[in-house]
Structure 1
Amino acid sequence: MKRKIICLGEALVDVYNNNGTLTEEIGGASFNVAASLGKLKNELLFLGAVGNDQQGKAIINKMNDYNIQTDYLQVDSQATTKALVTLDEFNERNFQFVRGADQNYSLNIEEIKKENIAAIHFGSATAFLGGSLQQAYNQLVEYAIANKIYFSFDPNFRDKLWNTPKKVAEFVVYCQPLLKNASLIKLSEEELEILSSGDSNIERLQNLEKINPEALICITQGSKGTLFAWKQQIDEVPVLKSNCVVDTTGAGDSFIAGLINEVLNRQITSESEMDEIFAAIYAANSFAKASVEHIGALTFLNFI
């Protein structure tokens, strides 16, 4: 029997402007993770909303391609959410969101209680921005904590969305319940600096570990590798550098998807040793490496 994993959040369209030519790629942090986990032969339940438009229909078709169940997908009268993506000279991406249907998702927790859930991933970039999606997010977090369901957290901070000190402070508050209770936490270096204190990544990681000493905490550092904390120990996992970086959109999503898959496959528990954690993270890094070698967050899945 396949294990069931929930991903809650946005499914959207990434719009790229390449010298005036617009192209669209399906994405969204939560959807990217769901697609990778579905491709890795897990049973995915995606909880989110898309518009009743061409983009929404394209997303639904992609869900079928990636073995994502659409039982909890909602089709809304508002347009499908878009992310306008620009790439810098190093092919690093920047986002500007045009919010639409994703914010209107509403959760019926009684339906979720009927499912035999192995894990939940909280990785939405837009779920803290209000609307019924934020209510659903909070409700599912409470359900996961109360029922001791394994869950992972990736805050997916976007400086274009949290663009004042006041908003950043709100973001930090919203993250606290997940940081304190998640079994697996994935942060970028920027997110680590926002969510923890200290003069270095290691010191910030140590301080974060004090908040949740049971969690596996990973800090992605791009080409510098992944710093992680486990059972009061800290180590670093290198990455295999790519000679063909095309687009880093979704690299973090593919990493956390690969790591969730490794953790479940290896049946990682509180008794697992550092070498097994190291191997799981190395495999996740390798999975993420493939994603940056193609335009769009999901194109690499066609070659797996």
Structure 2
Amino acid sequence: MGGKFLSIGECMVELSQAGDGLLRRGFAGDTFNTAWYARACLPADWSVDYFTVLGDDPMSDEMLAMMEKAGIGISHIRRIPGKTPGLYLITLKDGERTFSYWRDTAAAKKLAADADHLRTAIEAADLIYFSGITLGILASEAVDTLLSELRRAKASGKIVAFDPNIRPRLWPVGEEGKEAMLKTIEAGARAATLVLPSFDDEKAHFGDVDIAATIARYHVLGVPTVVVKDGPGGVTLSFDRKVEHVAAVEAKAAVDTTSAGDSFNGGFLSRLLTGETPAKAATHGAAVAATVIGHHGALIDPGLLPR
């Protein structure tokens, strides 16, 4: 029997280099990327919906058309007249990617402005997925609204999955900004039943000395299930305090690591929802991520993914 997967966050316009001074346009964003791979990996009796806010401009129209074509539900997406999506530009230099963002006035910053609409979408879902970037783009009152609804979902027995995806550039500079960022990430974790952190982020920003410290810290925050991603070091799972390690799947050629974690999350959650053991679900997620980083771009053709 299927169910409903709801991903909450921001999908942006992506501009990347196409040579000869030209740019290629696409659409991507961390929680949308995970929705894309969840849709690709879940059976047809599961619906995957995206929750965000867009404008009434042609770019928003094209983004919605792309989502529908991919089989991702858009019925929960509100539109605000006069607003537009956020945009980012990828620049390549000596093989290294850098990102420039234009999102200060993006429509997605209003995704929690209608609390009743938000509650309706969450109540209809079996799994709700969000990230630290979702929290980072919102004003503090909107964060409170979103987390309040997610705590309700957790208390009602729904799966609430959270990737901390820590991005300091979304927060004010200085110690106060860092403190606010870490407190908000912790608040996000408290609202979740399953957290999917990346160890590099946790080490850099929370000072965790090892993966065991990351797992212990999230359990103390009240998270029952922790899945720590460590790139080529594999994945460490803590389900019901039982710790298990799953090796990474080696990519044939790593050409673009964009969306590696997002695609793992989509592959992992899809298998977990359809009854696989956590270890088998993580192995599938690792295989999806290894395939994705072997191709350019955040979103690859679902036909290329392992089954």
TM-score between both structures, scaled by the size of structure 2: 0.84
User: What does residue range 142-291 of structure 1 map to in structure 2 within 5 Å?
Assistant: 142-162=151-171, 163-193=173-203, 196=206, 198-212=208-222, 214-215=224-225, 217-266=226-275, 276-291=277-292
Counterpart in the other structure of 1:48? 52
CA RMSD of aligned residues (A): 2.6
Q: Deviations over 1:65-120 (max 9, x none)?
A: 221221111222222111223456565x5433311111122334367448542110
Conserved in 1, the CA contact under 8 Å of 2:8 and 2:50?
yes
Conserved in 1, the CA contact under 8 Å of 2:13 and 2:27?
yes
Conserved in 2, the CA contact under 8 Å of 1:50 and 1:81?
no
* Distance (Å, rounded) in 1 between the aligned partners of 2:223 and 2:76: 33
Shift of 1:34: 1.6
1:25 aligns with 2:34: no
Shift of 1:29: 1.2
* Distance (Å, rounded) in 1 between the aligned partners of 2:232 and 2:299: 20
Q: Secondary structure at the match of 1:50?
A: strand
* Distance (Å, rounded) in 2 between the aligned partners of 1:144 and 1:174: 18
1:109 aligns with 2:116: yes
Q: Secondary structure at the match of 2:126?
A: strand
Q: Which residue type is aligned with residue 46 of structure 1? A: Y
Counterpart in the other structure of 2:86? 81
Counterpart in the other structure of 2:73? 69
Q: Which residue type is aligned with residue 87 of structure 2? A: K
Conserved in 1, the CA contact under 8 Å of 2:132 and 2:188?
no
Conserved in 2, the CA contact under 8 Å of 1:14 and 1:25?
yes
Measured at CA, do residues 128 and 138 of structure 1 come closer, stay the same or move farther in structure 2, by a change above 3 Å? farther
* Distance (Å, rounded) in 2 between the aligned partners of 1:130 and 1:44: 23
Structure 1 unmatched ranges of 5 or more: 268-275
Counterpart in the other structure of 2:15? 15
Measured at CA, do residues 241 and 87 of structure 1 come closer, stay the same or move farther in structure 2, by a change above 3 Å? farther
Q: Which residue type is aligned with residue 188 of structure 1? A: S
Q: Which residue type is aligned with residue 107 of structure 1? A: D
* Distance (Å, rounded) in 1 between the aligned partners of 2:98 and 2:228: 20
Shift of 1:121: 0.5
Conserved in 2, the CA contact under 8 Å of 1:254 and 1:288?
yes
Q: Which of the numbers 118, 133, 141 marks the counterpart of 1:125?
A: 133
Q: Percent identical across equivalent pairs?
A: 20
Q: Which residue type is aligned with residue 199 of structure 1? A: V
Measured at CA, do residues 69 and 29 of structure 1 come closer, stay the same or move farther in structure 2, by a change above 3 Å? same
Q: Which residue type is aligned with residue 4 of structure 2? A: K
* Distance (Å, rounded) in 1 between the aligned partners of 2:186 and 2:278: 24
Measured at CA, do residues 133 and 97 of structure 1 come closer, stay the same or move farther in structure 2, by a change above 3 Å? farther
Aligned residue-pair number: 294
* Distance (Å, rounded) in 2 between the aligned partners of 1:213 and 1:101: 31
Q: Which residue type is aligned with residue 287 of structure 1? A: V
Structure 2 unmatched ranges of 5 or more: none
TM-score between both structures, scaled by the size of structure 1: 0.85
Conserved in 1, the CA contact under 8 Å of 2:186 and 2:221?
no
Q: Secondary structure at the match of 1:84?
A: strand
Q: Which residue type is aligned with residue 217 of structure 2? A: N
Q: Secondary structure at the match of 1:182?
A: coil
Conserved in 1, the CA contact under 8 Å of 2:249 and 2:283?
no
Q: Secondary structure at the match of 1:67?
A: coil
Measured at CA, do residues 110 and 48 of structure 1 come closer, stay the same or move farther in structure 2, by a change above 3 Å? closer
